[in-house]
């Protein structure tokens, strides 16, 4: 019998019963992850054309982006409960179906109100897809293969924000803005068919009651926090109101912390932070991701506004970081076995910070090939940090708590993306406080500011012990930073 801290018995892992599932399950989950990540960014470049087609303004259409990420923030925390109660496969297929159908309705939207409603519905589907998909992966692979499983989980999250604007621009330019939604349909249908055929019916505890009051508190807190963050990057309300929204979200989070200690099964299990590997992977790793997540937002702006490149030329260069991400699994797996989690996280954060700062050395006359190679290196460092911190978060997690952990981890991952983009936008506002036009020098200052953020995560990585995640990393020697 497995111990409390172990995953289920070896014979219970789907990928060991059928070797085909080593590819098919990650493929199904990867489809869902990539669709969700793409839809967070893909409409950004299509907003002017969408505004014209729906007879509204580009500023108003920012709500279509905000509505999607708000729905994600509200419903991700409770996705684990639904997966435990009704089965991971059923919820995953339902989420894929909601996302696919709402994508079709977004594409045929005749007015702004219909688009906004369907974007909320898309967000609901996306909120269920990603944590439940993560849960399916974690429960399909044995712990010693967790690095492989987490790679499949992390790659879409890295690639999506990078290729989203480029893909959105190409579809809008050569077809129509409606195709940025229609492109989801074949992938969604394929994902549903494969999930029904190959994903096992995974249940957790069905006796836990749904914490409706806790859901309302944490949902409102996450929605307000996400809305406040979005308004830092894309202002829709006055600064005093942004501050009020952020303060209200923090107060609600404190209120939920007080409430969660007094109920048996809160909507979000905050006791997960008592597990050192989870808290370091999600919190310290999250801080590092914030600094690295600002680059996919700021870099295309520097290439286009600062250096005068076209959107397609800029997108082609930034896309290279997605290609370098494909190398992350063999590299990271080897590094983890050699050094363990602590040193890999520490030095990937240091290297990532240095590479972010290095963008400040680029000029308009810097050879394109040199910029492309540098972006490739940055993509490798970014992917290594993301994959390693995500893997550490679940490396020692007891099987019984995986549903709660994937939900909470999903919220923190979503916020790290939003914080990264919003901080990049805020720094751009700070360096042009006098209203001056953006120049390459302004972007250089922003990159130097963003390079500080990954360094703030370094103290957190010192809290790791040599045994943390050792079963997953397979590192045998004592780890030292």
Given this model, what pLDDT does residue 452 score?
94
- Count the alpha carbons within 13 Å of 68 in the hemisphere toward its beta carbon: 24
Check whether 75 has a pLDDT greater than 70. yes
Instruction: Please give the DSSP secondary-structure letter assigned to residue 481.
Output: -
First to last CA, the chain: 36
SS3 content of the chain, % helix, strand, coil (to 5): 80, 0, 20
Would you give the distance in Å from CA 159 to the centre of its chain? 10
Dihedral over Cα of 351, 357, 362, 368: its sign: positive
Residue 405 has pLDDT above 90, yes or no: no
Q: What is the CATH number of domain 7-210?
A: 1.20.1250.20
**Residue, of 109 and 207, whose pLDDT is higher:** 109
- The C-alpha torsion from 325 through 330 and 334 to 340, rounded to 10°, is 50
pLDDT for res 19? 67
The string of DSSP letters for 180-195 reads HHHTHHHHHHHHHHHH
Q: How many CA atoms lie within 13 A of 244 on its CB side?
A: 5
Q: How far apart are CA 152 and CA 140, in angstroms?
A: 12
How much is the pLDDT for 358?
Answer: 92
Q: What is the pLDDT of residue 80?
A: 77
Specify the pLDDT at position 231. Answer: 73
270-481 maps to which CATH number?
1.20.1250.20
Alpha carbon distance 73, 99 (integer Å): 16
- Cβ neighbours of residue 49 closer than 8 Å, sequence gap 6 or more: 172, 176, 177
Q: How many residues does the chain have?
A: 481
Q: What is the mean pLDDT of the chain?
A: 79
Let me know: does 300 contact 439? Beta carbons within 8 Å: no
What is the reported pLDDT for 41? 65
Asked if residue 172 has pLDDT above 90, the reply is no
The CB density around residue 83, as the number of other CB atoms within 10 Å, is: 29
The pLDDT value given to residue 101: 93
Q: Of 240 and 60, which is predicted with more confidence?
A: 240
Decide if 255 contacts 217 (C-beta within 8 A): yes
pLDDT at residue number 10: 44
Supply 345's token pair: 């996280």
Give the residue range(s) of CATH 1.20.1250.20 domains in the chain: 7-210, 270-481
- Per residue in 253-305, pLDDT (tens digit) is 899 889 888 888 787 788 888 888 888 988 999 899 888 888 877 888 788 77
pLDDT tens digits, 84-134: 778 888 888 899 999 999 999 988 888 888 888 888 898 888 888 877 887
Give the pLDDT confidence score for residue 13 in this predicted structure.
Answer: 64
Tens digits of residue pLDDT in 361-383 = 998 888 989 998 998 899 888 88
Q: Given this model, what pLDDT does residue 54 score?
A: 77
Neighbouring CB atoms inside 10 A of 459's CB total 10
Q: What is the pLDDT of residue 387?
A: 82
Q: How far apart are the C-alpha atoms of 162 and 26, rounded to whole Å?
A: 20
Between 151-155, 217-221, 223-227, the lowest mean confidence (pLDDT) is in: 151-155
Asked whether the whole model's pTM tops 0.85, one would answer no
Helix-then-strand count for the chain, H and E: 25, 0
Which runs of E-coded beta strand occur in 323-394?
Answer: none
Look at residues 251, 378, 282, 243 and name the one whose alpha carbon lies nearest to residue 323. Answer: 378
Please tell me the distance from the alpha carbon of residue 22 to that of residue 424, in angstroms, as a whole number.
38
């Amino acid at each position: 019998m497995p111990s409390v801290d172990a995953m289920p018995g070896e014979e219970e892992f789907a990928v060991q019963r059928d070797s085909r599932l080593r590819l098919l399950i990650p493929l199904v989950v990867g489809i869902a992850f990539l669709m969700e990540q793409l839809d967070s960014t893909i409409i950004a470049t299509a907003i002017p054309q969408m505004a014209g087609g729906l007879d509204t303004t580009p500023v108003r259409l920012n709500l279509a982006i905000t509505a999607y990420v708000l729905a994600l923030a509200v419903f991700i925390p409770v996705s684990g409960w639904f997966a435990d109660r009704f089965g991971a496969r059923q919820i995953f297929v339902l989420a894929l179906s909601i996302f696919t159908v709402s994508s079709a309705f977004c594409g045929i939207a005749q007015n702004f109100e219909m688009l906004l409603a369907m974007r909320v519905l898309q967000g609901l589907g996306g909120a269920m897809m990603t944590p439940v998909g993560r849960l399916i992966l974690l429960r399909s692979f044995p712990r010693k293969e967790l690095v492989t499983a987490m790679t499949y989980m992390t790659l879409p999250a890295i690639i999506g924000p990078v290729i989203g604007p480029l893909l959105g621009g190409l579809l809008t330019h050569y077809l129509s803005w409606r195709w940025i939604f229609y492109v989801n349909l074949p992938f969604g249908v394929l994902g549903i068919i494969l999930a029904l055929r190959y994903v096992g019916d995974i249940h957790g505890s069905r006796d836990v009651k749904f914490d409706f009051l806790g859901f309302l508190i944490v949902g409102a807190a996450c929605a307000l926090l996400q809305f406040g963050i979005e308004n830092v990057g894309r202002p829709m309300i006055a600064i005093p109101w942004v501050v009020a929204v952020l303060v209200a979200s923090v107060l609600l989070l404190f209120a939920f912390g007080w409430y969660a200690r007094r109920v048996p099964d809160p909507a979000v299990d905050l006791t997960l932070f008592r597990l050192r590997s989870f808290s370091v992977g999600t919190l310290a790793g999250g801080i590092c991701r914030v600094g690295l997540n600002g680059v996919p937002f700021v870099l295309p702006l520097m290439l286009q506004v600062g250096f005068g490149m076209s959107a397609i030329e800029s997108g082609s260069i930034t896309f290279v970081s997605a290609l370098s991400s494909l190398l992350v699994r063999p590299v990271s797996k080897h590094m983890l076995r050699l050094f363990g989690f602590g040193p890999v996280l520490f030095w990937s954060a240091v290297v990532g910070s240095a590479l972010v700062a290095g963008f400040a050395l680029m000029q308009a006359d810097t050879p394109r090939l040199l910029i492309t190679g540098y972006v490739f290196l940055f993509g490798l460092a970014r992917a290594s940090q993301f994959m390693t911190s995500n893997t550490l978060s679940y490396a020692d997690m007891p099987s019984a708590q995986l549903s709660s952990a994937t939900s909470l981890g999903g919220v923190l991952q979503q916020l790290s993306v939003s914080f990264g983009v919003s901080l990049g936008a805020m720094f751009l506002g700070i360096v042009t406080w006098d209203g001056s036009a953006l120049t390459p020098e302004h972007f250089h200052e922003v990159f130097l500011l963003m390079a500080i953020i990954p360094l703030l995560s370094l103290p957190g990585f010192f809290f790791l012990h040599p045994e943390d995640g050792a079963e997953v990393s397979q590192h045998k020697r004592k780890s030292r930073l």
